[in-house]
Amino acid sequence: MVRKRTAILISGRGSNMTALIEAARDPSYPAEIVLVVANRPDAGGLQRAAEAGLETAIVDHKSFGKDREAFEHALQEVLQAHRIEIVCLAGFMRLLTAWFVAQWPERMVNIHPALLPDFKGLDTHRRAIEAGAKEHGATVHFVVPEMDSGPVIAQGRVPVFADDTESALAARVLAIEHRIYPLALKLVASGRVRVENGRCVIEGPVSNQEAAFLPGAAQ
Ligand code: GAR
């Protein structure tokens, strides 16, 4: 098996990044994490990545001013220089242009802390509580030009309790993020996720436990 060369893009602490790095320590995992890129020099995850022995890079969006395309071209150059095949956005807080997205068709995935299509955008946990949602969660999806909108690969659900605080709910969601992101990357890297009419179809058998996270798996 040739493992897919994968880059993780971060802006912050990188706990999802760490979950992916840990999964990929298993030599039979189909993705190899070869690079972590941050758009902020102070992203806490950079140190964690370096401690894990990974190569890191900083492409600081601030040094490109308002020129989003120049920033993205610099990012693309770094990814190409490392012969990256799959890009994982893990708490990467920059919107990407249609040009950049088009460089990675069905090869760039994102994790969003909500049950998409509900609660796109920011402050998802506060908004879920305010909306009186009984259920909340996280979604891993392919990236398309429209924000938080691509085909859903995996989704994990958690209950919302009547007396929930934003931080308690965020912690519950984060724990499920750390389960579904490694699962989604495993399936994408092994070529088992096909997009059909805008929806993901998972090929081959999955365990019952995995099926609970995979809307596109055969029942
Ligand atoms: C995660 O909850 C992720 O889902 C969210 O940021 C957090 C990053 O945490 N992503 C977004 O909100 C993307 N719009 P981490 O740095 O510990 O992985």
| Rg from Cα positions in the chain | 17
Q: Which CATH class is domain 110-219?
A: alpha beta
Of residues 61, 112, 136, 178, which has the active-site annotation? 112
* Cα separation, 167 vs 141, whole angstroms: 24
**147 CA to middle of ligand 1, Å?**
14
Report, at the CATH architecture level, how domain 1-104 is classified. 3-Layer(aba) Sandwich (3.40)
Tell me what pLDDT residue 212 has: 97
* 86, 189 Cβ separation under 8 angstroms: yes
**30 CA to middle of ligand 1, Å?**
23
**From the alpha carbon of 12, which atom of ligand 1 is closest?**
16
Q: pLDDT band for position 42 (50/70/90)?
A: very high
CB-defined site of ligand 1, < 6 Å: 10, 12-16, 45, 90-91, 111-113, 138, 174, 177
* Cα separation, 194 vs 199, whole angstroms: 8
112 is catalytic: yes
The mean pLDDT value for 187-199 works out to 97
Tell me what pLDDT residue 1 has: 87
pLDDT at position 92 over 80: yes
The mean pLDDT value for 22-27 works out to 98
Tell me what pLDDT residue 218 has: 84
Kindly state the tokens that stand for 10.
């971060």
Burial class (CB in 10 A: 0-12, 13-18, 19+), 197: exposed
Kindly state the tokens that stand for 213.
């996270």
Tell me what pLDDT residue 219 has: 67
pLDDT at position 201 over 90: yes
110-169 pLDDT, tens digit each: 999 999 999 999 999 999 999 999 999 999 999 999 999 999 999 999 999 999 999 999
Q: Of 158, 216, 162, 159, which is closest to residue 184 (Cα–Cα)?
A: 216
What residue has token string 């492409």?
A: 59
Q: pLDDT band for position 192 (50/70/90)?
A: very high
Give span(s): CATH 3.40.50.170, the chain.
1-104, 110-219
Tell me what pLDDT residue 64 has: 95
Tell me what pLDDT residue 200 has: 98
**111 CA to middle of ligand 1, Å?**
7
* 67, 83 Cβ separation under 8 angstroms: no
